Amino acid sequence: MSRVALVTGGSRGIGAAISNALKDAGYSVAATYAGNDEAASKFTAETGIKTYKWNVADYDESKNGIAQVESDLGPIDVVVANAGITRDAPFHKMTPEQWQQVIDTNLTGVFNTVHPVWPGMRERKFGRVIVISSINGQKGQFAQVNYAATKAGDLGIVKSLAQEGARAGITANAICPGYIATEMVMAVPEKVRESIIGQIPAGRLGEPEEIARCVAFLASDDAGFINGSTISANGAQFFV
Protein backbone atom coordinates (compact mmCIF):
# COMPACT_ATOMS: atom_id res chain seq x y z
CA MET A 1 0.00 0.00 0.00
CA SER A 2 1.32 3.42 -0.89
CA ARG A 3 1.88 6.02 1.81
CA VAL A 4 -0.66 8.82 2.12
CA ALA A 5 0.33 12.48 1.89
CA LEU A 6 -1.75 15.56 2.70
CA VAL A 7 -0.74 18.90 1.16
CA THR A 8 -2.61 21.98 2.37
CA GLY A 9 -2.94 24.63 -0.31
CA GLY A 10 -1.97 21.81 -2.65
CA SER A 11 -4.08 22.88 -5.63
CA ARG A 12 -2.10 25.93 -6.75
CA GLY A 13 1.40 27.41 -6.82
CA ILE A 14 4.13 25.70 -4.80
CA GLY A 15 1.58 23.36 -3.22
CA ALA A 16 0.45 22.04 -6.61
CA ALA A 17 4.07 21.24 -7.52
CA ILE A 18 4.45 19.46 -4.16
CA SER A 19 1.27 17.43 -4.71
CA ASN A 20 2.51 16.39 -8.15
CA ALA A 21 6.01 15.49 -6.93
CA LEU A 22 4.60 13.31 -4.14
CA LYS A 23 2.19 11.63 -6.55
CA ASP A 24 5.10 10.93 -8.93
CA ALA A 25 7.03 9.47 -5.97
CA GLY A 26 4.21 6.98 -5.40
CA TYR A 27 2.17 8.57 -2.60
CA SER A 28 -1.61 8.70 -2.50
CA VAL A 29 -2.06 12.46 -2.33
CA ALA A 30 -4.86 14.66 -0.97
CA ALA A 31 -4.58 18.37 -1.80
CA THR A 32 -6.59 20.99 0.06
CA TYR A 33 -7.65 24.50 -0.88
CA ALA A 34 -9.60 27.39 0.65
CA GLY A 35 -12.17 28.55 -1.89
CA ASN A 36 -10.93 28.65 -5.48
CA ASP A 37 -13.14 25.81 -6.75
CA GLU A 38 -12.28 26.46 -10.38
CA ALA A 39 -8.51 26.07 -9.84
CA ALA A 40 -9.09 22.98 -7.70
CA SER A 41 -11.35 21.28 -10.28
CA LYS A 42 -8.87 22.07 -13.04
CA PHE A 43 -6.03 20.66 -10.92
CA THR A 44 -7.94 17.43 -10.21
CA ALA A 45 -8.91 17.06 -13.89
CA GLU A 46 -5.29 17.49 -15.00
CA THR A 47 -3.59 15.38 -12.34
CA GLY A 48 -6.16 12.95 -10.93
CA ILE A 49 -5.25 14.23 -7.43
CA LYS A 50 -8.31 14.55 -5.21
CA THR A 51 -8.92 17.99 -3.70
CA TYR A 52 -10.69 18.89 -0.45
CA LYS A 53 -11.98 22.29 0.61
CA TRP A 54 -11.55 23.58 4.14
CA ASN A 55 -10.16 26.59 5.94
CA VAL A 56 -6.90 25.71 7.70
CA ALA A 57 -7.57 28.56 10.14
CA ASP A 58 -10.51 26.61 11.59
CA TYR A 59 -9.63 23.68 13.89
CA ASP A 60 -12.90 21.78 13.56
CA GLU A 61 -12.98 22.13 9.77
CA SER A 62 -9.40 20.84 9.62
CA LYS A 63 -10.12 17.93 11.95
CA ASN A 64 -13.24 16.90 10.02
CA GLY A 65 -11.52 17.36 6.65
CA ILE A 66 -8.57 15.24 7.76
CA ALA A 67 -10.96 12.53 9.00
CA GLN A 68 -12.57 12.51 5.53
CA VAL A 69 -9.17 12.22 3.81
CA GLU A 70 -8.21 9.32 6.09
CA SER A 71 -11.52 7.59 5.42
CA ASP A 72 -10.96 7.97 1.64
CA LEU A 73 -7.22 7.24 1.38
CA GLY A 74 -6.06 5.75 4.69
CA PRO A 75 -3.97 7.10 7.59
CA ILE A 76 -1.87 10.14 6.75
CA ASP A 77 1.88 9.44 6.80
CA VAL A 78 3.15 12.73 5.38
CA VAL A 79 1.68 16.14 6.12
CA VAL A 80 2.84 19.22 4.24
CA ALA A 81 1.62 22.47 5.85
CA ASN A 82 1.92 24.72 2.82
CA ALA A 83 -1.22 26.89 2.79
CA GLY A 84 -0.35 30.51 3.40
CA ILE A 85 -1.42 34.07 2.70
CA THR A 86 0.00 37.58 2.79
CA ARG A 87 -1.72 40.78 3.97
CA ASP A 88 1.13 43.23 3.57
CA ALA A 89 1.28 46.74 5.02
CA PRO A 90 3.95 48.83 6.71
CA PHE A 91 3.62 48.34 10.46
CA HIS A 92 2.19 51.80 11.11
CA LYS A 93 -0.61 51.04 8.64
CA MET A 94 -1.13 47.35 9.47
CA THR A 95 -4.61 46.71 10.86
CA PRO A 96 -5.40 44.23 13.64
CA GLU A 97 -7.45 42.33 11.01
CA GLN A 98 -4.42 42.02 8.70
CA TRP A 99 -2.34 40.80 11.64
CA GLN A 100 -4.96 38.28 12.78
CA GLN A 101 -5.80 36.83 9.35
CA VAL A 102 -2.17 35.99 8.69
CA ILE A 103 -1.62 34.57 12.19
CA ASP A 104 -4.78 32.45 11.92
CA THR A 105 -3.94 31.04 8.49
CA ASN A 106 -0.15 30.73 8.47
CA LEU A 107 0.59 29.90 12.11
CA THR A 108 -2.54 28.52 13.77
CA GLY A 109 -3.20 26.81 10.41
CA VAL A 110 -0.05 24.74 10.93
CA PHE A 111 -1.24 23.68 14.40
CA ASN A 112 -4.68 22.84 12.99
CA THR A 113 -3.14 20.75 10.20
CA VAL A 114 -0.57 18.80 12.20
CA HIS A 115 -2.37 18.34 15.53
CA PRO A 116 -5.12 16.00 14.21
CA VAL A 117 -2.62 13.70 12.41
CA TRP A 118 -0.02 13.62 15.21
CA PRO A 119 -1.62 10.91 17.45
CA GLY A 120 -1.89 8.50 14.50
CA MET A 121 1.72 9.10 13.50
CA ARG A 122 2.82 8.42 17.09
CA GLU A 123 0.83 5.20 17.23
CA ARG A 124 2.15 3.93 13.88
CA LYS A 125 5.70 5.04 14.73
CA PHE A 126 6.15 6.87 11.46
CA GLY A 127 5.47 10.37 10.25
CA ARG A 128 6.80 13.23 8.19
CA VAL A 129 5.83 16.82 8.97
CA ILE A 130 7.05 19.40 6.47
CA VAL A 131 6.20 23.07 6.92
CA ILE A 132 6.64 25.61 4.13
CA SER A 133 8.10 28.67 5.82
CA SER A 134 9.83 31.54 3.97
CA ILE A 135 13.05 33.45 3.56
CA ASN A 136 11.14 36.36 5.09
CA GLY A 137 10.69 34.40 8.31
CA GLN A 138 14.48 34.18 8.49
CA LYS A 139 15.40 37.77 7.64
CA GLY A 140 12.20 39.80 8.17
CA GLN A 141 10.73 41.95 5.43
CA PHE A 142 9.43 45.50 5.06
CA ALA A 143 5.62 45.54 5.32
CA GLN A 144 5.48 41.91 6.45
CA VAL A 145 5.62 42.04 10.27
CA ASN A 146 2.62 39.68 10.35
CA TYR A 147 3.89 37.28 7.67
CA ALA A 148 7.49 37.22 8.98
CA ALA A 149 6.23 36.48 12.50
CA THR A 150 4.30 33.44 11.27
CA LYS A 151 7.11 32.14 9.11
CA ALA A 152 9.64 32.51 11.95
CA GLY A 153 7.09 30.75 14.16
CA ASP A 154 7.11 27.78 11.76
CA LEU A 155 10.78 27.23 12.57
CA GLY A 156 10.00 27.07 16.29
CA ILE A 157 7.19 24.61 15.58
CA VAL A 158 9.35 22.14 13.66
CA LYS A 159 12.27 22.35 16.12
CA SER A 160 9.90 21.53 18.98
CA LEU A 161 7.97 18.82 17.11
CA ALA A 162 11.26 17.23 16.09
CA GLN A 163 12.19 16.73 19.73
CA GLU A 164 8.75 15.40 20.63
CA GLY A 165 8.43 13.07 17.63
CA ALA A 166 11.95 11.70 17.20
CA ARG A 167 11.48 8.60 19.34
CA ALA A 168 8.20 7.84 17.60
CA GLY A 169 9.83 7.83 14.15
CA ILE A 170 8.40 11.22 13.23
CA THR A 171 10.49 13.95 11.64
CA ALA A 172 9.51 17.62 11.37
CA ASN A 173 11.36 20.00 9.09
CA ALA A 174 10.85 23.37 7.43
CA ILE A 175 11.70 24.66 3.99
CA CYS A 176 12.32 28.38 3.53
CA PRO A 177 11.77 29.23 -0.12
CA GLY A 178 13.13 32.46 -1.51
CA TYR A 179 11.18 34.13 -4.31
CA ILE A 180 9.44 31.49 -6.41
CA ALA A 181 7.79 31.96 -9.81
CA THR A 182 4.20 31.40 -8.71
CA GLU A 183 1.17 33.34 -9.99
CA MET A 184 1.49 35.68 -7.00
CA VAL A 185 5.07 36.68 -7.81
CA MET A 186 4.51 36.72 -11.60
CA ALA A 187 1.53 39.09 -11.07
CA VAL A 188 3.67 41.90 -9.62
CA PRO A 189 4.66 44.63 -12.09
CA GLU A 190 7.62 43.62 -14.26
CA LYS A 191 9.78 46.45 -12.83
CA VAL A 192 9.22 45.20 -9.26
CA ARG A 193 9.89 41.63 -10.33
CA GLU A 194 13.13 42.69 -11.95
CA SER A 195 14.23 44.48 -8.79
CA ILE A 196 13.47 41.30 -6.80
CA ILE A 197 15.52 39.22 -9.25
CA GLY A 198 18.33 41.78 -8.93
CA GLN A 199 18.65 40.82 -5.24
CA ILE A 200 19.01 37.09 -6.01
CA PRO A 201 22.60 36.05 -6.73
CA ALA A 202 21.30 33.16 -8.86
CA GLY A 203 19.84 35.83 -11.18
CA ARG A 204 16.43 34.16 -11.40
CA LEU A 205 13.34 33.22 -9.44
CA GLY A 206 13.06 29.70 -8.06
CA GLU A 207 10.70 27.19 -9.68
CA PRO A 208 7.89 25.56 -7.63
CA GLU A 209 9.31 22.18 -8.64
CA GLU A 210 12.60 23.04 -6.90
CA ILE A 211 10.73 23.35 -3.60
CA ALA A 212 8.69 20.24 -4.37
CA ARG A 213 11.85 18.15 -4.80
CA CYS A 214 13.03 19.23 -1.32
CA VAL A 215 9.68 18.10 0.10
CA ALA A 216 9.85 14.73 -1.68
CA PHE A 217 13.32 14.18 -0.22
CA LEU A 218 12.32 15.15 3.33
CA ALA A 219 9.31 12.81 3.07
CA SER A 220 11.45 9.86 2.00
CA ASP A 221 13.00 7.15 4.17
CA ASP A 222 16.43 8.48 3.13
CA ALA A 223 15.76 11.64 5.17
CA GLY A 224 14.98 9.80 8.42
CA PHE A 225 17.84 11.38 10.39
CA ILE A 226 17.06 14.93 9.24
CA ASN A 227 14.86 16.29 11.99
CA GLY A 228 14.20 19.85 13.15
CA SER A 229 16.08 21.29 10.17
CA THR A 230 15.47 24.29 8.03
CA ILE A 231 16.33 23.99 4.35
CA SER A 232 16.89 27.34 2.66
CA ALA A 233 16.11 27.29 -1.06
CA ASN A 234 16.68 30.88 -2.14
CA GLY A 235 19.34 31.12 -4.86
CA ALA A 236 21.94 32.42 -2.34
CA GLN A 237 19.82 35.45 -1.41
CA PHE A 238 20.20 34.96 2.35
CA PHE A 239 22.25 32.77 4.68
CA VAL A 240 21.35 31.88 8.25
Q: Which residues bind ligand NAP (CB under 6 A)?
A: 8-9, 11-15, 32-36, 39, 55-57, 82-85, 105, 132, 134, 177, 179-180, 182-185
Q: Are 215 and 18 in contact (CB under 8 A)?
A: yes
CB of 9 to ligand NAP, least distance (A): 2
CB of 168 to ligand NAP, least distance (A): 26
Nearest CB to ligand NAP, comparing residues 135 and 161? 135
User: What DSSP assignment string belongs to 24-36?
Assistant: HTT-EEEEEESS-
CB of 76 to ligand NAP, least distance (A): 16
**Sheet hosting strand 230-233, strand order edge to edge:** 50-53, 28-33, 4-7, 78-81, 127-132, 170-177, 230-233
How many angstroms separate the Cα of 222 from the Cα of each of 83, 163, 171, 175, 187?
26, 19, 12, 17, 37
Nearest CB to ligand NAP, comparing residues 9 and 126? 9
CB of 224 to ligand NAP, least distance (A): 24
Residue of 27, 33, 52, 147 with catalytic role: 147
147 annotated active-site: yes
Nearest CB to ligand NAP, comparing residues 34 and 172? 34
Residue 166 is given by DSSP the state: G
SS3 state at 127: strand
Nearest-angstrom CA–CA distance, 128 and 227: 9
Nearest CB to ligand NAP, comparing residues 43 and 118? 43
Give the residue numbers annotated as catalytic, written as ranges: 147
